[in-house]
Structures are given as structure tokens and as C-alpha cells.
């Protein structure tokens, strides 16, 4: 009986440590809870990153770039600044700046999910 209790306690402790480790690991890689998004010559936008993470998957916003320069699948841990690709060198004028790419993605999602759509909802005064 005593042996069973000791084994059960050891198992419970190990399980708790494993769950806590996963939670801490996810939290460490989650990014800031809130951030200010900026692009040259544009008004900064306040972005509630944590609130969006609670409702969406990382791949809903983040993506990679394929060898031929097209949008690729999201790869965790390989996030880069959007402006690395979304800049004046990009041929697609709808996406050739961080501002354009963000407006395309954010407004599209907000419209589809009845999110805030007014300029000052994101661009605080």
C-alpha cells in the first residue's frame, strides 16, 4: 500500500512538471501580449497579440516564403519581420509594404469575423 502511494505521488509530480514545462515553453515563445506595429511613413497600430492568439492559430497570420518567392506554410520559430519580404522590392503592389500586407490580412479577417474595422480601432490617437 505504502509503495503504491509513493509511486502515485511520484507519477503525479512528474506529470505536473511535464505539463508545467510545456506551458512555460509555449508562453516563452508566444511573443509580447501587446505590440505596436510600425511602417515607414504610416501611423503606428496597436496590436493585441495575446488576444489574437487566444482566438486564432499562428499560421492564420504568419507564413514563410518558398524558394520561388511565394507565400509558404508557417514554420514555428522562423518568424521574421513582415517587412523582410513585404517591401518596395515585392512585385505585388497590394502587398509591397508592411502596411499593405497588414491591411490586406487584418481587414480581411476582421471583415469575415465581424471584428473592428474603423481606422482608430487599431491606429490610436
The domains of the chain are located at: 1-30, 31-122
Per the CATH hierarchy, to which homologous superfamily does domain 31-122 belong? Cytochrome C3 (3.90.10.10)
What are residue 45's DSSP bridge partners? 37
Residues 1-26 have pLDDT tens digits of 665 554 444 555 555 555 444 444 44
Q: What would the pLDDT profile of 33-91 be if each residue is shown by its tens digit? A: 999 998 888 899 999 999 999 999 999 999 999 999 889 999 998 888 899 999 999 99
The phi, psi pair for 119, rounded to 5°, reads: -50, -45
Q: Which of 120, 42, 39, 48 is nearest to 86 (CA)?
A: 39
Kindly list the distances between the CA atom of residue 106 and the CA atoms of 60, 65, 98, 102, 117, in Å, as whole numbers in the listed order: 10, 19, 12, 6, 9
Read out DSSP for 24-57? HHHHHTS--SSEEE--TTS--EEE-HHHHHHHS-
Amino acid at each position: 500500500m505504502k509503495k503504491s502511494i509513493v509511486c502515485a505521488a511520484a507519477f503525479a509530480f512528474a506529470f505536473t512538471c511535464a505539463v508545467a514545462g510545456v506551458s512555460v515553453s509555449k508562453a516563452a515563445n508566444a511573443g509580447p501580449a501587446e505590440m505596436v506595429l510600425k511602417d515607414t511613413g504610416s501611423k503606428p497600430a496597436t496590436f493585441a497579440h495575446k488576444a489574437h492568439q487566444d482566438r486564432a492559430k499562428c499560421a492564420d497570420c504568419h507564413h514563410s516564403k518558398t524558394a520561388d518567392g511565394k507565400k509558404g506554410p508557417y514554420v514555428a520559430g522562423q518568424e521574421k519581420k513582415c517587412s523582410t519580404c513585404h517591401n518596395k522590392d515585392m512585385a505585388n503592389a497590394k502587398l509591397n509594404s508592411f502596411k499593405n500586407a497588414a491591411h490586406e490580412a487584418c481587414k480581411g479577417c476582421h471583415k469575415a469575423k465581424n471584428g473592428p474595422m474603423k481606422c482608430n480601432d487599431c491606429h490610436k490617437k
